[in-house]
A and B are shown apart, each in its own frame.
Chain A
Amino acid sequence: MNAAFDRLTLTDVSRNFGRRRALSRVSFSCASGDIFGLLGHNGAGKSTLLAILATLLRPSSGQVRYGAHSATRGGAAVRASLGLLGHELQLYPELTAAENLRFFARLYGLSDVQARVRDALAAAALADRADDVVSGFSRGMRQRLALERTLLHDPRLLLLDEPFTGLDQASAAALIRRLRGLAAAGRIVIVATHDLDLAEGLLTRSVILREGRVAALHEDGLAVRARYEAALRPQRAAS
């Protein structure tokens, strides 16, 4: 039972930890086909926002709607429709590539596990390394495997946290191609990243966060670096 949706809407989402505000009244929405960028300095709230979108964290106030569903009511159905590729790749190093995929496929209750695992390995270009333990893989290989793991259950919303970290040029280009393909196929893709040059060629829309607040919201993917620097220029001291 997947929740079917093609729009993600945030309304005044805030999150605080004690007296520290991590996010303050963040609002935006994205739709199928978007490759939406979350940009900002370290500590701006990108990871917190991603955790909220992944339903791992509840907002202190405000609402997140996945189409007509919400995380609180939707629960497992919403989780079945989203995928998160975290900064730590969430793979079991002692298991082989195939075993990792099989485990998650079964955990998600998917049918046709054999076929899906085979296809995922092919998409990750790891078919020949299927029975090798993941601890022996390079970062790029693990990344490809983790991405396929995230896509096994065909999620409608794909969340990526700093996916370009530690990737060489070729791997980064391959990832960009993959993400474009996924968005074109109707997924909503949200990418939190520091890498402004790569973001330039990838994003269709973006939001720039500053200290937990929306500093700027852009409806196209142009001039990412310039806009980023403009939005995050140090503010004059308040009088």
Chain B
Amino acid sequence: MGEFIRVAWLVMQKDLTVEIRSREIVSTTVFFAISCVLVFAFALVKDGRTVVDAAAGILWIAIAFSGTLALGRTFERERYTDTLRALMLAPADRPAIYVGKLLAIVAMILVTEALLVPLVALMFQAALFDAPLLLGAILLTGTLGFAAVGTLFAAMLVRARSRDVLLPVLLYPITIPVIIGGVRGTAALLGTPTDVAMAQFWIGLLSFFDVVFIVLSLWTFEPLMTE
């Protein structure tokens, strides 16, 4: 167990170091997320003004789209230098490598969200900071669920053809419950009065999703990555 955590931590640390040095993924992801928000703000217009109730939806769409880009880029980097093979060659526990990469991706997406949430709050006059702990819980559980499935799929697509288009094709249908949970949970917090019970229900469901799909990914990572 200790060995597992050690390897996962090592891989995560390495990924974050590489990212901090190059700053490539976070900067492009953040910029893309902001563009997303703007596009939707301009597209969803009623009576000549932006629909402010759409804040929750727009936030999660931006997270999903930019998260997919981040996943694709992270694994493309490993593919280009062939370092994913080097990781698979090591005697280390393969699921530990999965966890390391998962934690690094979650960290990167959370950084994006940290910049995105205030922006959305500002542009849509959304009271996103009224219940910060609950909002944080929704963002965390939702991001974890999305990234858990995404990391597995992006890793196994490294060897496939048409991997750029296949990642969203595979990822979005399976993570729809995460999007529903995220959007409804966030919307519950934005409503007046704040529907805490509803938000807690969604946090619970998302947590359950996270547990099921992380376990499933840990279980299937090794057989899926070896030919």
A and B touching (C-beta < 8 Å)?
yes
Is there a chain A Cβ closer than 8 Å to B47's Cβ?
no
> Which residues of chain B in 83-133 are interfacial with respect to chain A, using CB atoms and an 8 Å cutoff?
83, 85-93
Residues of A within 8 A of B91 (CB): 76-77, 79-80, 108-109
Q: CA separation between A179 and B34, bound complex, in Å?
A: 53
Question: A50-80 vs B: 1/0 string, CB under 8 Å?
Answer: 0000111110000000000000000011011
CB atoms of A89 and B17 under 8 A apart:
no
Is there a chain B Cβ closer than 8 Å to A196's Cβ?
no
> Which residues of chain A in 97-132 are interfacial with respect to chain B, using CB atoms and an 8 Å cutoff?
99, 103-104, 106-109
With contacts A56-B227, A95-B18, A99-B17 known, is A107 near B81, CB below 8 A?
no
With contacts A89-B82, A92-B81 known, is A103 near B14, CB below 8 A?
yes
B17, B85, B90: which contacts A107 (Cβ < 8 A)?
B90
Residues of A at under 8 Å CB distance from B? 54-58, 76-77, 79-80, 82, 84, 86-95, 99, 103-104, 106-109, 133
With contacts A77-B91, A104-B86 known, is A95 near B7, CB below 8 A?
no
Nearest neighbor of A106 in chain B, beta-carbon distance: B10
Q: Shortest distance in angstroms between B212's beta carbon and chain A's nearest beta carbon?
A: 27
Residues of B at under 8 Å CB distance from A? 3, 7, 10-11, 14, 17-18, 21-22, 80-83, 85-93, 226-227
Q: List 19 A-B contacts (CB under 8 A).
A: A56-B85, A56-B226, A79-B91, A84-B89, A88-B80, A88-B81, A88-B82, A89-B81, A90-B81, A90-B85, A91-B83, A92-B14, A92-B81, A92-B83, A94-B17, A94-B21, A104-B90, A109-B3, A109-B92
| Chain B residues touching A, majority SS | helix
Q: CA separation between A55 and B217, bound complex, in Å?
A: 22
Residues of B within 8 A of A108 (CB): 90-92
Q: CA separation between A80 and B90, bound complex, in Å?
A: 7
Nearest neighbor of B21 in chain A, beta-carbon distance: A94
CB atoms of A56 and B81 under 8 A apart:
no
Interface centre among A82, A92, A133 (most CB of B within 10 A): A92
Q: CA separation between A117 and B187, bound complex, in Å?
A: 53
CB atoms of A90 and B90 under 8 A apart:
no
A54, A80, A103: which contacts B10 (Cβ < 8 A)?
A103
Q: Shortest distance in angstroms between B160's beta carbon and chain A's nearest beta carbon?
A: 13
Q: CA separation between A57 and B85, bound complex, in Å?
A: 11
Q: Shortest distance in angstroms between A208's beta carbon and chain B's nearest beta carbon?
A: 26
Nearest neighbor of B13 in chain A, beta-carbon distance: A103
